[in-house]
Amino acid sequence: MSLNGNLFSISLEPGIRLSNGKITPLLALDATFSPTLGTSVGLGVGFYEDFYWYINGAQLLYRINWGWSPLFFLKEMGVGIEVNGSNTNLDHSAMYLFVNVGSTIGLGDLFPKIGIQYSNSRLGLYLGLETRP
């Protein structure tokens, strides 16, 4: 089930998994908000094997308008953060810079990311290539 608007999106996904003769209930609740243009915040909780939770957000800093191009071109730059956990433990967190590499020939947008992460009680380099900021 999902409810979508211009500024928000909320989805609820109930289910069950059958594995090795065992029934496991599944439940996920995800919400995304865009309070201002160029800002997005996501929250989510769920039960799969364990209870999981996440928070993420992205802020557009600069929009590049190079006009029409048949190839890839840079469209936006911004910053983001993500924090993921299971039960009461912090599993992973990251702060990063991203760019939006897009195309006018229908290939979609990609968001290369670079930043720092905290995982397994250590700081490290965060690299990502995703389809969302």
Overall domain count for the chain: 1
Torsion of CA 29, 90, 126, 100, to 10 degrees: 20
CB 84 within 8 A of CB 92: yes
Q: Which H or E element spans position 59?
A: strand 51-63
Range of the domain at 103: 2-130
**13-48: pLDDT as tens digits:** 998 888 788 888 889 999 999 988 889 999 999 988
pTM: 0.78
* pLDDT recorded at residue 105: 67
Residues of the chain with pLDDT under 70: 65-72, 104-106
Q: What tokens does 103 get?
A: 């195309």
**Two tokens, residue 18:** 């059958």
